[in-house]
Chains A and B, each alone.
Chain A
Amino acid sequence: MLKWIPLLPLLGFLINGIWYGFFQTRTGAKRAGATIPGVIATAVIFGAFLISLQTFLTLKGLPAEGRVIDENLFSWIKVGDLDLKMALRVDSLSTLFTLVITGVGTLIHLYSIGYMAHDATPGKFFAYLNLFCFAMLMLVMGSSLPILFLGWEGVGLCSYLLIGYWYEDIAKASAGKKAFIANRVGDFGFILGMFMLYTHFGTLEFAKLVELLGKGDFVATLNPLAITATCLLLFVGCTGKSAQIPLYVWLPDAMAGPTPVSALIHAATMVTSGIYMVARLNGLFSLSPTAMMVIAVIGGLTAFFAATIAIAQSDIKKVLAYSTVSQLGYMFLACGVGAYTAGVFHVITHAFFKALMFLGAGSVIHGMHEEQDILKMGGLRTKMPVTFVTFLVGWIAICGIPPFSGFFSKDEILWNAFANPHGNKFLWVLGALTAALTAFYMTRMFYLTFFGKPRFDESKMGAHSNGHDDHHDDHGHSHAPKGVHESPATMTIPLVILAILSIVGGFLGIPHSSWLETWLEPVIPAHEAESFTAGHSTEYGLMIFSTLVAVAAIAFAWKTYTNLKGADARKANHQKLHKTLEEKWYVDELYESAFIKPIYEISMSLWKSFDVAVIDRIVLGFGRISQWSGQAARTVQTGSLQVYAVMILVGLVLTLGYLVRGFI
């Protein structure tokens, strides 16, 4: 039964793909509406959701230890001593992820039917979306690292295709390319990590790995340095995929893709694959404290760093993108300090409210006719009530206000950072500071979008609008009412559902009696409470403290942005700081000059000077030498008889001399 979960999206991809490939591309084909492909795609994902729900229930029925379903499809690569089987494996961890992927996926597919109504080639869009779900499901359900890697690169491909979906705008296409190459740099580390794992453990199957990690004597034989190296290499893969410090640059540019894509791929599912992999191999990671520390530090730094940039961003999707990077930093901080369960918990809650906010932003942009700059918005709460309310829920959740889901998961992370044997105080301070910043920039965005006076001229808002005007030309904006309007039902229903989930989500992991911890017990061994460095009282104290910090940040932001002129004035005198923040600390320019430019120069010189000048010249040199010597030898042939006769004599005398020398 398991194989149907990934196969259904694949089927959807094939149907939409072939239908688009052969019918839509015929020149002059009637431009089909988005509904047919959209419905097929959503149905398929929904089917997958039902099956994964059914697997979740069967898993619940099984006893705690045996909570695994294995299904072997066929032998993929059998060469020498390597025997890879294309096999699926669902245990308690991966079933959660399948539920999130298919559940949030269905909502987003439903949403994008409305969003993509005016698009030229919806068939292609939904085909790619289904392909993405197939790859993501393969990633989480793979029974061995190579299958995971298959999904890993598959999602990389789909994100490339979907980011560069509106390919006519070269900036969007290069954003797609940038995403793929950044992922590929991460995959470089991932592959090497896999090889080290294979050489040390002899297998890449998760089941066998966990079994080997379990055997104490075997673990003793491994040298710690190799383990740390393996973990760090695998973590390089995660930084690529889940946008951590060195390789996060692609995520903000990935906003060039349509908003449902950003919601599904760059908020809920793909970026969390890194955390899934770390959680899956938690046994390995916990073997090397240094690797855990590195992950925690990088996670924390990314969280803080991204939060600082988010403050100065004016594009609504860019703000959300940096907030995603920051939240991912939180998750890795959790995994780094050993609280994998907290990490997974935050993944789930984050999926809900971040997807919600992205879709909300999507409906705002849709309503505002592709206007993405929050400085030009304001006062939308009256014009888009449903979006406003759902966005409000999301905003409260992310700021970590109890009882919303954000509070529980973020607080769990902060608590572990503070009290967990692997964690330390500095990380907690970093986390708390980021929480404050998060609350600040979220409030800023929320306020500028929905409150204050509208800073846009509605009349101009009609048929013509800026943004992707070129791809609008082939379909009129006939039926949409002029001016700002609320999104149609298909878009608002998913918003409402996600809002409810964002509220309810928190109750999965109430501290000390979290259902999640018991559920993930077989996969992730829970830490005993007593090993913590602090008791319950400090835990509750911390909870209150973090809530207070969040409320204070919200109030402060609210106050600054009520009078815009005050905010602008303050921004003016911190002009230089603001500029650097806005320009993302000039990281892109740094990468450009540090890597891309030199490689380009070197390869140009390699080609021009080495390939052409050196090798070719040597090769042609031989030709030229023989040509030249031929020319020289030719001139000896003067044509005069005397010279010939002399040559004969000289030849005779020389040879005779040589021969005669033998006798005398």
Chain B
Amino acid sequence: MEWMNSHLLSTLTFFPLFWAVLGTLLPVRVSKHWTLAGSLILFFISLKLYWGFSAQGAEFQFAESVEWIPGLGVNYLLGIDGISLWLVLLTTFLMPIVVLASYDGVEEREKEYYTLLMALQTGMIGAFVAMDSFLFYVFWEAMLIPMYFLIGIWGGKERIYAAMKFFIFTMVGSLLMLVAIFFLAYQHKVQFGSFSTALIDLYKVKLDGAGYFSTQSLLFLAFALAFAIKVPLFPVHTWLPDAHVQAPTAGSVILAGVLLKMGGYGFIRFAFPLFPQAVHTYQHTFMVLGSIAIVYGAWVAMVQPDMKKLVAYSSVSHMGYVVIGLFSLNAIGSSGAVYQMLAHGISTPALFLLVGMLYERRHTKEIKEFGGITKVMPLFAIAFMIATLASIALPGTNGFIGEFLILLGTWKANPGLAILATTGVIFGAVYMLWMFQRVMFGPIKNDLNKKLKDLSVREMLVLAPLMIAIFWMGITPNFFFEKMETSVARLVERTARAEIVSTAMNGDVQRNK
């Protein structure tokens, strides 16, 4: 046990993989319960993170450092700050829900399914806690493989096309990031005499930033492309709807819940602190793209015949908010963006779970197939209503806090774009309510819908934590803000002053430099 709390992050990262490997030895019948138990244990372990993390403490806490590839200056460096703390908790919070949700959703090849889910969790948590850019890249890629198989094997009809598109899109982006990491490590050697890909060392690397195509800007663009694809930002978002429509429910919940946050997290951890001047030169370009993403996502979502695709495009719109929030470069906008990531990580999975439940009953996701479901499934209607409200950012739900702060932050940075972005509030309501009305209200046209049974106890257990989280995050956001405030302040300070801020690491860091 002692080892665990001194190396909490490593246990958190590799426990799911270890648990999954153990799971392969058990009979198929018990594998889903085994995985559920594993994910719950992991969630309780991660709560220790929350209590252990002191808001005023050093920037990166729970740090662990071990030599990995001394030849290339790569070391196994872990640590979290206020922002990645919440993202890790979001991951561990969502996983039990996902496992419970796919209890009877998945019949064939169950054991591989649950092993892949746990492997995916290892990749995600690893990426959030990695403090070394190479280690981050390894987890970033390793995360792709399980997701690829999840979509590819258990997906819908054109799952192979969607899985391949998902993989290639992210892969191309991340390869350029890899080249940028090499270049940075080499610059570190040139300026400080020794190779290192550790993040805090790279923060100290000085690059000439003037102009649109200076080295710093090119490096920034390499990183930004990789993260923009992941976010998905406007021009490179087309993989998301395909991936979501074809992915199984659990897959799209994790994809929407956590993988999209990887892009935002990447901006916060890598692109902003490493290349402050470049952020300033490209600030308005990305804010324009973000605003377009909001309006474009909302408009295209409006005309989608397929529920899952509609929710997918709504994610494009919501994540557009995150981008303009981040690029507003002020405390309000940035913390709003982080909060929006958390809120989106709760409300969109809820929507996907609900659509999944409808799919399990009627095996179709077409909106016109449904109508008047409230009459037959009232409890489902209540849950769906709450999720819709969270998605259209009604005050009192978690969506509002994020959007309000982001729009306020954007207003300070660029009022014109703020107006465009605020129209997103209207279109958001339009497409969600129109879909809600066509699915839930009106007479029951299709007699198949008459016999649908309401939520089972299992399904209620799946949705309850999300519903509670929606309101909890909406009514007392300070509970979440106080832990992340100092980190966001440091982020803004680092990008604002456009030069290097010394970082303090605490925990058992044997810095070998």
The reply to whether B395 and A149 contact each other, CB–CB distance below 8 Å, is: yes
A602 contacts chain B at the CB level, 8 A cutoff: yes
Query: Residue of B at shortest CB range from A173?
Result: B441
The reply to whether B405 and A187 contact each other, CB–CB distance below 8 Å, is: no
Q: Which residues of B contact A195 (CB under 8 A)?
A: 407-408, 411, 415, 418
The reply to whether B425 and A191 contact each other, CB–CB distance below 8 Å, is: yes
Contact of B422 among A76, A82, A188, A616 (CB under 8 A): A188
A194 → chain B closest CB, angstroms: 8
Known: A75-B478, A153-B394, A615-B238. A164 touches B408 (CB 8 A): no
Tell me the B437-470 residues at the A interface (CB within 8 Å).
Answer: 437, 440-443, 454
Contact of B437 among A146, A173, A188, A615 (CB under 8 A): A173
A618 → chain B closest CB, angstroms: 9
A152 to B404, CA, bound (A): 14
Query: Residue of B at shortest CB range from A77?
Result: B477
The reply to whether A188 and B423 contact each other, CB–CB distance below 8 Å, is: yes
A606 contacts chain B at the CB level, 8 A cutoff: yes
A37 to B418, CA, bound (A): 44
The reply to whether A168 and B372 contact each other, CB–CB distance below 8 Å, is: yes
A470 contacts chain B at the CB level, 8 A cutoff: yes
Q: Which residues of B contact A170 (CB under 8 A)?
A: 437, 441-443
The reply to whether A180 and B429 contact each other, CB–CB distance below 8 Å, is: yes
The reply to whether B425 and A21 contact each other, CB–CB distance below 8 Å, is: no
Tell me the B224-247 residues at the A interface (CB within 8 Å).
Answer: 235-238
Q: Which residues of A contact B330 (CB under 8 A)?
A: 80
B85 → chain A closest CB, angstroms: 17
A225 → chain B closest CB, angstroms: 14
A575 contacts chain B at the CB level, 8 A cutoff: no
Q: Which residues of A contact B378 (CB under 8 A)?
A: 21, 24-25
Q: Chain A interface mostly helix, strand, loop or mixed?
A: helix
The reply to whether A79 and B389 contact each other, CB–CB distance below 8 Å, is: no
Tell me the A44-76 residues at the B interface (CB within 8 Å).
Answer: 74-76
B419 contacts chain A at the CB level, 8 A cutoff: yes
A198 to B407, CA, bound (A): 12
A401 contacts chain B at the CB level, 8 A cutoff: no
The reply to whether B478 and A154 contact each other, CB–CB distance below 8 Å, is: no
Q: Which residues of B contact A154 (CB under 8 A)?
A: 394-396
B332 contacts chain A at the CB level, 8 A cutoff: yes
The reply to whether A82 and B441 contact each other, CB–CB distance below 8 Å, is: no
A655 contacts chain B at the CB level, 8 A cutoff: no
The reply to whether B423 and A77 contact each other, CB–CB distance below 8 Å, is: no
The reply to whether B478 and A184 contact each other, CB–CB distance below 8 Å, is: no
The reply to whether B433 and A177 contact each other, CB–CB distance below 8 Å, is: yes
Q: Which residues of A contact B476 (CB under 8 A)?
A: 74, 76
The reply to whether A606 and B454 contact each other, CB–CB distance below 8 Å, is: no
- Interface mask (B258-295 → A, CB under 8 Å = 1, otherwise 0): 00000000000000000000000000000000000000
Q: How many residues of A contact B (CB 8 A)?
A: 53
B205 → chain A closest CB, angstroms: 29
B30 contacts chain A at the CB level, 8 A cutoff: no
B302 contacts chain A at the CB level, 8 A cutoff: yes
The reply to whether B425 and A167 contact each other, CB–CB distance below 8 Å, is: no
A417 → chain B closest CB, angstroms: 34
The reply to whether B485 and A157 contact each other, CB–CB distance below 8 Å, is: no
Q: How many residues of B contact A (CB 8 A)?
A: 59
B167 contacts chain A at the CB level, 8 A cutoff: no
Contact of B302 among A78, A173, A603 (CB under 8 A): A603
- Interface mask (A146-165 → B, CB under 8 Å = 1, otherwise 0): 10011011100100100010
Q: Which residues of A contact B336 (CB under 8 A)?
A: 79
A199 to B413, CA, bound (A): 11
The reply to whether A81 and B303 contact each other, CB–CB distance below 8 Å, is: no
A439 → chain B closest CB, angstroms: 38
Q: Which residues of B contact A198 (CB under 8 A)?
A: 408
A210 contacts chain B at the CB level, 8 A cutoff: no
Known: A603-B303, A607-B300. A77 touches B481 (CB 8 A): yes
A192 → chain B closest CB, angstroms: 6
Query: Residue of B at shortest CB range from A603?
Result: B299
The reply to whether B412 and A199 contact each other, CB–CB distance below 8 Å, is: yes
The reply to whether A184 and B425 contact each other, CB–CB distance below 8 Å, is: yes
The reply to whether B425 and A187 contact each other, CB–CB distance below 8 Å, is: yes
A174 contacts chain B at the CB level, 8 A cutoff: yes
A146 to B477, CA, bound (A): 14
Q: Which residues of A contact B148 (CB under 8 A)?
A: none
- Interface mask (B373-412 → A, CB under 8 Å = 1, otherwise 0): 0110011001000000100001110001100110110011
The reply to whether B407 and A177 contact each other, CB–CB distance below 8 Å, is: no
Q: Which residues of A contact B442 (CB under 8 A)?
A: 167-170, 173
A27 contacts chain B at the CB level, 8 A cutoff: yes
B151 → chain A closest CB, angstroms: 17
B94 contacts chain A at the CB level, 8 A cutoff: no
Contact of A82 among B407, B408, B482 (CB under 8 A): B408
- Interface mask (B306-338 → A, CB under 8 Å = 1, otherwise 0): 000000000000000000000000111001100
- Between-chain CB contacts (< 8 Å), 19 pairs: A76-B477, A78-B485, A79-B405, A81-B332, A150-B396, A152-B395, A153-B395, A157-B389, A164-B437, A167-B440, A181-B430, A184-B425, A195-B415, A198-B408, A599-B299, A602-B299, A603-B303, A615-B237, A619-B169
Other contacts beyond A167-B374, A181-B426: 5, CB < 8 A: A80-B332, A164-B437, A195-B408, A619-B165, A619-B169
- Give B residues with C-beta under 8 Å from A: 165, 169, 235-238, 296, 299-300, 302-304, 330-332, 335-336, 372, 374-375, 378-379, 382, 389, 394-396, 400-401, 404-405, 407-408, 411-412, 415, 418-419, 422-423, 425-426, 429-430, 433-434, 437, 440-443, 454, 476-478, 481-482, 485, 489
- Give A residues with C-beta under 8 Å from B: 21, 24-25, 27, 74-82, 146, 149-150, 152-154, 157, 160, 164, 167-170, 173-174, 176-177, 180-181, 184-185, 187-188, 191-192, 195, 198-199, 470, 599-600, 602-604, 606-607, 611, 615-616, 619
* Closest 8 pairs (CB-CB, A-B): A80-B331, A173-B441, A603-B299, A25-B378, A170-B442, A167-B441, A150-B395, A195-B411
